[in-house]
Amino acid sequence: MRKTTLAAAICVALLPVAGSHAGEREELLKLQATTMSLIEVLVKEGVLSQEGADKLLAQAKQKAAAEVQRTVEQENTAEAQPAGNSQDVRVTYVPQFVRDEIRDQVRVELREDVTADVLAQAKNEQWGVPGVLPDWTNRIKLKGDIRLRGQGEYYAEDNGAYFDWQASNEDGTNTLLNTTENNQKLRARLRLGVDATVTQNILAGVRLTTGNTDNPVSTNQSLGNYNNRYEMVVDQAYLRYDALDDEQQRWLRLWGGRIPNPWLSTDMVWDGDLGFEGVAATLTRQIKSGEGLYAEDETERSVFVTLGAFPLSTEKDYGSDDKWLYGAQLGTDWNFENQSQLELGLAYYDYQHIEGQPQPLVGQSTAWTVPDYMQKGNSVFDIEGTGNPPYALVSDYDILNLTARYDFVRFAPTHVILSGDFARNIGFDAAEILARTGLDVEERTDAYQVGVTVGWPEVAKRRDWQVFGFYRHVERDAVLDAFTDSDFHLGGTDAEGWILGGSYGLADNTWLTMKYMTADEIHGNYLTDSIGSGVPLGIDVLQLDVNAKF
C-alpha cells in the first residue's frame, strides 16, 4: 500500500505543469520537488535501493504520460461541446488511479471506526439476545464485602469477678465472665446483599451475613470450629419507598421490614451490626438559598424528621405488655460552599416495658420481663429474690441523644472530621425503682463520646488513608447495654477509655484497618460487690482487619 501510494504521488508530481494555471503550477512544482527529495532520502537511508528508485520513476513516468494523453483527449472533447455558463467553477482534474487509492484508504479507516461504533451499540442494546436476558436483570444489583480479623483481648492483672448475666439466664445458674485470661481470636465476616428496583420509587433489599440469631450486635464468625461450616442468616429484608418532588429531590423515605439503621448516630448508642425490625419514615425538607437567616445564603441546607416503631418482643402473647422501641429524631444537614458538611441530630428513644418486674408470690410469672439479650453494664436484679437467675433490668430506658458531625474539607483531599455524641437516660427514676424492686440504686445515666478523624472520609482506593481517635465515657444505665458497641470493653456499658486506629488502602476496594481500644469499668454493678468487685474491670482490645468489598 505504501509503495503504491508513493508511486501515485510520484505520478502526480511528474505530470506536466506548463498548461496549468499559475497557482496550480506552483503547487505541482512544490509537490514534484518534495517527491524527488523524498526518494533521495529513502535511497540514502537504505529504505529504497537506487535500482528500485529508478524503476519506480520509470513506471511513474509511463503512468504520467498515459494520464497526460487521457487528459488531452478529455480537454479536446470538452472544447467541442457548447460553452457552459460563465459562472461554472473549474475543478482540477484528479487522476483515476489516485482517486482509487484514496477511496480504498478511506474504506479501511472508515471500516474500523464503523465497526467499533456498531459493536458498542450492539453491546448497549443487547442485539441478538432477545429474551435471553429478561428485564428484571437490569433492575438487580449485587453487592457484598468480606472482612478477615485478628483480635487480641487483654485483661488487667487486678481485675475482679463479674457476672455474665446472659449466660446466667441461659444456664439457670450464676456464671462468671472471663476477666483474667487473655485471648487471641481469628474471625471472618461475609455479607452478601441484593438491591432490586421494583419500580422507580420502590426498592427491595435483602442481605445475608455470617453470624447467628443469638447475638444481635455481631456478625462475626470465629474460626476454630474444627473446620465446620459457617452459618448464614438473614440480616436485612425490607421494602423502601422514596417520594420525589418536581426537581427529583427526595422528600420522603419509608422503610418496612428488617431495615438498616435509620438514625444519625454513632456506635455508642447503636452497634454498627445492629438491624432494626419494624417501620421507619424520614421526611426531608430542602432549604434553598434565600430561605435561611440571610438573603444571600451560600449553603445548601436540609432539615429532616425520622420516626420509627420497632417491636422487640411480641411473640409471647403478652398483649399490651409487649416490648417495643419507639424513636423520633429531628436533624439538619448543611453543605457549605467549600464542600464542608455539618450534620446534627437530636433523638428520643423510648423503650416500652423493658424494665424487669419482680415475681409475686401468687400470680402470673414475670419471666417475660427478662431481656432476650444482654451484654454487661446495666443495673440488674433477680426477679425472684433468691440471688439466682433469672435477672432483669432495674431501670426503664428513655434515651435523649444528641449527635453532631462536622466534615471540614478546607485541606482537601484531606478531610478533618470532628464528631461528638451525648446520651442521657431520662427514664431512670430512683423512687420508682425503689418502690418496684425495693432496691436503692444510684443514678448513673450519662454517656458521651468525642473524636476526630483525619484523612479520607472513606477508604475505597489504593493509598487512601485515615487515622482516628475517640474518647468514650458510658455510665452503666445511660443506654441499653444490649445494643451498644460490642467491641469497646468487649461490649456493654459502665466503661470509659480510648479508641485509636487507622486505615490504609491496599488496592481499590481493599483496605487494612487497625484499631486499639483500652477501657476500664467506671462504677461496677452493685450486685457484684458481694463477690469481690470494686476493682475496675480493665479490658484492652486490639483488632487488625483486612477488608474487601465488591
* DSSP calls for 344-399: EEEEEEEEES-S--PPPSSSS--GGGS-S---S-S-EEETTSSSSS-EEESS--EE
pLDDT for residue 66? 72
**Helices 22-44 and 2-14, axial angle in degrees (round to 10):** 140
Task: Using pLDDT thresholds of 50, 70 and 90, give the confidence band for residue 443.
Answer: very high
**Helices 50-80 and 2-14, axial angle in degrees (round to 10):** 50
Residue 33 contacts by C-beta under 8 Å, 6 or more apart in sequence?
none
Lowest-confidence pick of 224-228, 260-264, 462-466, 474-478: 224-228
Task: Using pLDDT thresholds of 50, 70 and 90, give the confidence band for residue 315.
Answer: low
Could you read off the pLDDT of 268-299 as tens digits, one per residue?
Answer: 999 999 999 999 999 999 987 655 444 444 56
**Is the pLDDT assigned to residue 3 strictly greater than 80?**
no
pLDDT for residue 337? 79
Higher pLDDT, 123 or 244: 244
pLDDT for residue 28? 63
Among positive and negative, which fits the CA dihedral 114, 116, 121, 123? Answer: positive
SS3 content of the chain, % helix, strand, coil (to 5): 25, 35, 40
Determine contact, residues 162/176, Cβ cutoff 8 Å: yes
Task: Using pLDDT thresholds of 50, 70 and 90, give the confidence band for residue 454.
Answer: very high
Task: Using pLDDT thresholds of 50, 70 and 90, give the confidence band for residue 391.
Answer: very high
C-alpha cell at 66: 498515459
Please count the other Cβ atoms lying within 10 Å of the Cβ belonging to residue 166: 22
Q: Is 290 exposed, middle or buried (0-12, 13-18, 19+ CB in 10 A)?
A: exposed
In the three-class reduction of DSSP (H, G, I as helix; E, B as strand; rest coil), residue 541 is classed as strand
pLDDT for residue 531? 40
Higher pLDDT, 14 or 345: 345
Percent of the chain with pLDDT over 90: 63
**Is the pLDDT assigned to residue 1 strictly greater than 60?**
no
Cα-based angle 55, 56, 58 (whole degrees, multiple of 5):
65
DSSP assignment letter at 309: E
For residues 476 and 473, give the distance between their C-alpha atoms in angstroms, rounded to a whole number.
Answer: 10
CA 461 to chain CA centroid, nearest Å: 12
For residues 332 and 305, give the distance between their C-alpha atoms in angstroms, rounded to a whole number.
Answer: 9
For residues 446 and 401, give the distance between their C-alpha atoms in angstroms, rounded to a whole number.
Answer: 10
**Is the pLDDT assigned to residue 51 strictly greater than 90?**
no
Higher pLDDT, 35 or 204: 204
DSSP assignment letter at 56: H
CATH 2.40.160 location in the chain: 147-549
For residues 349 and 135, give the distance between their C-alpha atoms in angstroms, rounded to a whole number.
Answer: 42
Task: Using pLDDT thresholds of 50, 70 and 90, give the confidence band for residue 160.
Answer: confident
Lowest-confidence pick of 1-5, 392-396, 530-534: 530-534
Higher pLDDT, 443 or 161: 443
Report the candidate in 268, 499, 498, 516 with the shortest Cα–Cα distance to residue 377: 268
DSSP assignment letter at 176: B
For residues 14 and 65, give the distance between their C-alpha atoms in angstroms, rounded to a whole number.
Answer: 9
pLDDT for residue 47? 58
Choose from 30-34, 405-409, 533-537 the range with maximum mean pLDDT: 405-409
In the three-class reduction of DSSP (H, G, I as helix; E, B as strand; rest coil), residue 229 is classed as coil
**Is the pLDDT assigned to residue 18 strictly greater than 50?**
no
pLDDT for residue 295? 43
> Which CATH entry fits the domain spanning 147-549: 3.30.40, 2.60.40, 3.90.25, 2.40.160?
2.40.160
pLDDT for residue 108? 66
Q: Which long-range contacts (C-beta less than 8 Å, at least 24 apart) are formed by 209-215?
A: 209/233, 209/235, 211/235, 211/273, 214/373, 215/373, 215/486
For residues 496 and 377, give the distance between their C-alpha atoms in angstroms, rounded to a whole number.
Answer: 12
In the three-class reduction of DSSP (H, G, I as helix; E, B as strand; rest coil), residue 491 is classed as coil
**Is the pLDDT assigned to residue 117 strictly greater than 80?**
no
Instruction: Specify which residues 453 forms β-bridges with.
Output: 417, 468
pLDDT for residue 24? 57
Alpha helix locations (H) across 203-310? none
Higher pLDDT, 41 or 142: 142
Task: Using pLDDT thresholds of 50, 70 and 90, give the confidence band for residue 191.
Answer: very high
Rg (CA), the chain: 40
In whole angstroms, how far apart are CA 79 and each of 91, 308, 417? Answer: 16, 95, 87
Measure the CA dihedral 82/88/91/95, to 10°.
Answer: -30
pLDDT for residue 2? 47
Residue 20 contacts by C-beta under 8 Å, 6 or more apart in sequence?
28
Determine contact, residues 207/233, Cβ cutoff 8 Å: no
Higher pLDDT, 511 or 26: 511
Could you read off the pLDDT of 201-249 as tens digits, one per residue?
Answer: 999 999 999 999 999 999 999 999 999 999 999 999 999 999 999 888 8
**Is the pLDDT assigned to residue 79 strictly greater than 90?**
no
Could you read off the pLDDT of 367-380 as tens digits, one per residue?
Answer: 999 999 999 999 99
pLDDT for residue 541? 98
Q: Rounded mean pLDDT of 260-273? A: 98
Lowest-confidence pick of 299-303, 329-333, 492-496: 299-303
Lowest-confidence pick of 244-248, 251-255, 393-397, 500-504: 244-248
Reported as type and span, the H/E element at residue 121 is helix 96-125
For residues 262 and 329, give the distance between their C-alpha atoms in angstroms, rounded to a whole number.
Answer: 10
Largest Cα–Cα separation, the chain: 133
Determine contact, residues 400/409, Cβ cutoff 8 Å: no
Q: To which residue does cell 425503689 refer?
A: 434
Lowest-confidence pick of 7-21, 210-224, 302-316: 7-21
pLDDT for residue 179? 94
For residues 411 and 33, give the distance between their C-alpha atoms in angstroms, rounded to a whole number.
Answer: 62
Task: Enter the pTM of the model.
Answer: 0.76
